[in-house]
Amino acid sequence: MPVHLLDSYNRSIQYLRVSITDLCNLRCIYCRPPEGLQLISHDEILRYEEILTIIEIFRDLGVRKIRITGGEPLVRRGVLEFLSQLVAMDGIEDVGLTTNGVLLAPMARDLKAAGLNRVNVSLDSMRRETFKDVTGSDKLDQVLEGIKAALAVGFNPVKVNVVLLEGVNEQDVAEFARLTINQPLYVRFIERMPFGSDPAPRSPESFSAHRVLEIIKNEVGQLKSVDREPLDGPATMFSLEGATGRIGIIDPVTGHFCGTCNRMRLTARGTLRPCLLGPQEIDVKSVLRRGASRKELEQLVISAVLSKPIGHSARPDRLSEGMNVIGG
């Protein structure tokens, strides 16, 4: 009999997002609080063996999909060996990695050799000056080369995540959509999450993901709905007629898809976060490091899952810390 990890509202939790580092080689305006970041000390970051132990517990309770995030996960030393161990774990059906793409080109072949099959690349503009304004860095060419390299070594699919920023990247929407016509790319347009105790003065709000659909219909072509895959996240998928790739929208702010949320998050500093936009975190690291038994850890995970709320408010609180720690 298959094991199902259910929360208090009978949602099946199948997906764990794992941040392995708070470090990043970009400084995106929507990810970092205006006051800057206080990085976590080395000792406070979960060790790889600790991460694998926690993942094994989730696996035993029914989780089948893992996504590795950061910060930027490719900057952490030893990531290839860690991924190879994770991919080899019995019972885990889907391992993906989200990267900003800067280091992807030189690492793509080794990542594939480690057993990784899926990769998401965060890219909010293909215009050089806009990319620099958003990321604080002139590394667009490296990111585009990373996407090409990922396709060349056989990652399938390669997903491109575009955070929607009012007044910044509306004019990029049509160009991103056209990428899917002749390439097996999944381009997903994502409403920007609020974070930090105060709005960042340089960080624009999101525009609606549904506005994306109107832009594409007006400037590129008609879209048809595409069925979701069993382990898909919250994206609603579409495709242009005759296109090789797909287009998705992820609308956590306007769409309120909380009722079907199937995920938990493990932060870089060893806490479980039941809801991205909720304040609650459960410390698993200190319990693990004091030598807790497997049964104790299992009960802690179950308790964390049962604390998962039914949803966030119509105007969710801003996140209490940067996405580099939480992992998105």
What residue segments make up the domains of the chain, in order of their start? 15-326
Tokens matching residue 134:
């958003």
The beta-carbon contacts of 56-60 under 8 Å, at least 24 apart in sequence, are: 56/89, 57/294, 57/297, 57/298, 57/301, 58/5, 58/16, 58/264, 58/301, 59/89, 59/90, 59/91, 59/92, 60/3, 60/91, 60/298
User: Would you list which residues are annotated within the binding site for S-adenosyl-L-methionine?
Assistant: 30, 71, 122, 193
Q: Is residue 62 a contact partner of residue 5, using CB atoms and an 8 Å limit?
A: yes
User: Would you list which residues are annotated within the binding site?
Assistant: 17, 24, 28, 30-31, 67, 71, 98, 122, 159, 193, 258, 261, 263-265, 275
What is the predicted pLDDT for the residue at 181? 97
User: Would you list which residues are annotated within the binding site for GTP?
Assistant: 17, 67, 98, 159, 263-265
pLDDT per residue as tens digits for the range 65-77: 999 999 999 999 9
- In whole numbers, what is the pLDDT of the chain averaged over residues? 89
User: Would you list which residues are annotated within the binding site for [4Fe-4S] cluster?
Assistant: 24, 28, 31, 258, 261, 275
What is the predicted pLDDT for the residue at 168? 94
What is the predicted pLDDT for the residue at 197? 42
Across the strands, what pairs with 142? Answer: none
Rounded Cα gap, residues 236 and 252, in angstroms: 11
What is the predicted pLDDT for the residue at 130? 97
CATH of domain 15-326: 3.20.20.70
What is the predicted pLDDT for the residue at 30? 82
What is the predicted pLDDT for the residue at 277? 77
Tokens matching residue 199:
């709005």
Q: Which residues of the chain are under the pLDDT cut of 70?
A: 1-2, 32-38, 194-203, 230-233, 255-256, 312-328
What is the predicted pLDDT for the residue at 29? 87
What is the predicted pLDDT for the residue at 302? 98
Minimal CA–CA distance to 100: which of 69, 128, 130? 69
What is the predicted pLDDT for the residue at 193? 72
pLDDT per residue as tens digits for the range 225-249: 998 776 556 789 999 999 999 999 9
pTM above 0.85, yes or no: yes
